Amino acid sequence: EAGVVQSPRYKIIEKKQPVAFWCNPISGHNTLYWYRQNLGQGPELLIRYENEEAVDDSQLPKDRFSAERLKGVDSTLKIQPAELGDSAVYLCASSFDRLNTEAFFGQGTRLTVV
Amino acid sequence: GENVEQHPSTLSVQEGDSAVIKCTYSDSASNYFPWYKQELGKRPQLIIDIRSNVGEKKDQRIAVTLNKTAKHFSLHITETQPEDSAVYFCAASPYGSGNTGKLIFGQGTTLQVKP
């Protein structure tokens, strides 16, 4: 089993540029999460999907962040335009269901905005 | 909303000693409490979890205790080994949802086990 796969692993962009992150969850996992982890801190939830529906996006800065999970499998997280404060590791996680099974994390995408 | 406080931020122990990390939470409705281990540059990995209907859970050298009244839970690692060195995060699932992935994380504890 490949686990949760994210790409790219690293991304360096200039401020005001757009950037996108991709996540492929574990096969069969219906629930998908995007987290942001700032240096030296714990992850913070940005958005949660149940299949293709975003059911919890209260923490997503909607003025510049967007996400989608077409067909309820892969997901992309986009930032446009990026700001210096967006530099962080963006983690994707998935679970078979939201109540009884472990949430598995991907390796993350380390974003540096310069 | 839920707030999770974790202490200490750094912990250094000698190999073979025990390590204890403590967390407090604010939402009395929280009912799922996992602990994640994150090695440098790697993904967080679940090492143990506990639900609010249980007071203690043990898995080999790792144990977690939960005090619902005081709203705190702790991770205990016995007979520490150098490979236990990592950042440990506690987390809580808020609002009584029991959602295993909708988590509020603590700030993390960097554990160093000296050989």
CB contact under 8 A, B101 and A108: no
Q: Higher confidence at residue B115 or residue B100? A: B115
Contact (CB, 8 A) for A7 and A20: no
Given a cut of 80, is residue A77 above it in pLDDT? yes
Q: Give per-residue pLDDT as tens, A13-26.
A: 999 999 999 999 99
B41, closest residue in chain A (CA to CA): A107
Q: Burial level of B27, CB count in 10 A (0-12/13-18/19+)? A: middle
CB contact under 8 A, B103 and A45: yes
Chain B residues with CB under 8 Å of A44 CB are 105
Given a cut of 70, is residue A67 above it in pLDDT? yes
Sorting pLDDT into bands at 50, 70 and 90, what band is A1? low
C-alpha–C-alpha distance, residues A74 and A1, integer Å? 16
Q: Which segment of A64-68, B26-30, B95-99 scores lowest on mean pLDDT?
A: B95-99
CB contact under 8 A, B89 and A42: yes
Task: Report CA-CA distances (Å) from B12 to B22, B68, B72, B114.
Answer: 15, 28, 22, 7
B6, closest residue in chain A (CA to CA): A42
Q: Give per-residue pLDDT as tens, A34-59.
A: 999 999 899 999 999 999 999 888 88
C-alpha–C-alpha distance, residues B40 and B19, integer Å? 19
Q: Is B95 helix (H, G, I), strand (E, B) or coil?
A: helix
